[in-house]
């Protein structure tokens, strides 16, 4: 099953290191509603977890300490502002235990990429510290704490393919026959700020030529049941795409290059700037990634599969 829970045979308390693997997400469908009084936009989204992973290890310690390697090492602050530290402190406060752990992050998911790397790390931290400290929270309790840290945290605890509503924090799994989808993920040089992309969409919607809002997720939901990548490709949609392109015009060229290389569909992932391409199969995905890398129009194109489970002990 995709979801972990009390039925799993995972030990409920670890004395040695707890190592958790967590996937990145893309949004197969991202419908953005109006800005709410609390500063978030009402969302209707279909989340999809892909095989691009961060790994968080939690060990017993006398204080709370974080180290990291990989993507963003040297630029990502490891202080109290880091979502990992904030997640550990939020869980400790809720469980009334001291926030003592030595945490180490091995990061592969790029920063500010529209792949929810920060939320993924927070999800991994909640699970790892729950097991390290034996706090025995249910998945739903962890998701509730996670929702206060980042909109995508509850999904990254669940994984798979799921419908997200509210500001994204309200997640329900989509039951479909198991199908593996093949993606190409084109990572850009430099990130985009999620709040800036949402603000750009608000501005575009007030302009004389507002972007056409994407239709509801119904087409995508029925496409998911058909297991045909061409059908799925035609249903992928993202309201944030015009805003991401307005802030980063070269993304149009990346999307076009992938389509010319034979992708069934091309779209910006979440708030971008990562672009994702749906391929007909694994070999096609490898070929498209090769074409994008040879063209040198993105930092790196890699292949990925989905859906993947959410945060899990390895």
Contacting residues toward ligand C5P, per CB under 6 A: 39-41, 43, 150-152, 167-168, 194-195, 198
Of 183 and 198, nearer to ligand C5P (C-beta) is: 198
Q: Determine the Cα–Cα distance for residues 167 and 151; give it in Å rounded to an integer.
A: 6
Q: What H or E segment, with its residue span, contains residue 86?
A: helix 83-95
Q: How many other β-carbons are positioned within 10 Å of the β-carbon of residue 31?
A: 22
Choosing from 54, 121, 130, 152, which is the catalytic residue?
A: 152
* CB closer to ligand C5P out of 40 and 242: 40
Residue the block writes with tokens 């992309």: 197
Q: Cβ 245 to ligand C5P, closest distance in Å?
A: 18
H or E segment and range at residue 156:
helix 153-158
* Residues in the annotated binding site: 110-120
Specify whether the CB–CB gap between 53 and 171 falls below 8 A.
no
Among candidate residues 304, 312, 313, the one with its CA nearest the CA of residue 48: 304
Binding-site members for ATP are 110-120
Q: Which CB atom, from 105 or from 257, has the smaller least distance to ligand C5P?
A: 105
Residue 107 designated active-site: no
The whole-angstrom distance between residue 254's C-alpha and the CA centroid of its chain comes to: 20
Looking at 25, 121, 200, 239, which residue is catalytic?
25
| Minimum distance from residue 251 beta carbon to ligand C5P (Å) | 19
25 is catalytic: yes
CB of 42 to ligand C5P, least distance (A): 7
Distance CA 158, CA 155 (A): 5
Comparison of 86 and 102: residue with beta carbon closer to ligand C5P = 86
Residues 235, 237, 160: CA angle, nearest 5 degrees: 80
Shortest Å, Cβ 151 to ligand C5P: 3
Where would I find the beta strands (DSSP E) of the chain? 18-35, 41-59, 64-70, 101-107, 161-165, 170-173, 181-187, 237-238, 265-268, 275-279, 300-306, 312-313
CB of 33 to ligand C5P, least distance (A): 9
Question: Would you say 168 or 273 has its CB closer to ligand C5P?
Answer: 168
Q: At its nearest, how many Å lie between ligand C5P and the CB of residue 144? A: 14
Bridge partners of 136, per DSSP, are none
Do strands 101-107 and 161-165 pair parallel, antiparallel, or not at all (unpaired)? unpaired
Question: Which is nearer to ligand C5P, 135 or 151 (by Cβ)?
Answer: 151
Write out the DSSP string of 212-247: PPPP-SHHHHHHHHHT-HHHHHHH-EETTHHHHHHH
Neighbouring residues of 247: CB distance < 8 A, sequence distance ≥ 6: 192, 196, 197, 200, 272
For 8, the token pair is 């799993």
Catalytic residues: 25, 152
């Amino acid at each position: 099953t995709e979801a972990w829970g009390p039925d799993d045979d995972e030990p409920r308390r670890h004395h040695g290191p707890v190592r958790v693997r967590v996937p990145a997400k893309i949004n197969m469908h991202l419908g953005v509603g109006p800005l709410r009084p609390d500063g978030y936009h009402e969302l209707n989204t279909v989340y999809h977890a892909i095989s691009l992973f961060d790994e968080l290890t939690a060990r017993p310690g006398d204080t709370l300490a974080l180290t990291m390697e990989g993507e963003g090492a040297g630029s990502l602050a490891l202080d109290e502002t880091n979502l990992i530290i904030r997640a550990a402190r939020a869980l400790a406060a809720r469980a009334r235990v001291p926030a003592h752990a030595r945490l180490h992050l091995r990061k592969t998911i790029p920063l500010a990429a529209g792949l929810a790397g920060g939320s993924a790390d927070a999800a991994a931290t909640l699970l790892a510290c729950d097991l390290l400290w034996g706090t025995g929270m249910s998945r739903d309790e962890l998701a509730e704490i996670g929702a206060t840290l980042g909109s995508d945290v509850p999904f990254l605890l669940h994984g798979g393919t799921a419908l997200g509503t509210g500001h994204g924090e309200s997640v329900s799994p989509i039951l479909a026959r198991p199908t593996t989808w093949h993606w190409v993920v084109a990572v850009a040089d430099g990130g985009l700020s999620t709040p800036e992309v949402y603000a750009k969409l608000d501005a575009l919607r007030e302009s004389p030529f507002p972007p056409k809002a994407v239709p509801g997720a119904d087409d995508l939901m029925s496409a998911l049941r058909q297991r045909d990548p061409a059908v799925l490709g035609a249903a992928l949609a993202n309201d944030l795409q015009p805003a991401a392109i307005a802030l980063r015009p070269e993304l149009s060229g990346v999307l076009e290059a992938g389509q010319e290389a034979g992708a069934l569909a091309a779209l910006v992932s979440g708030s971008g700037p990562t672009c994702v391409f749906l391929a007909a199969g694994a070999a096609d995905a490898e070929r498209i990634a090769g074409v994008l890398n040879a063209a040198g129009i993105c930092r790196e194109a890699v292949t990925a599969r989905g859906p993947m489970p959410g945060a899990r002990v390895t």
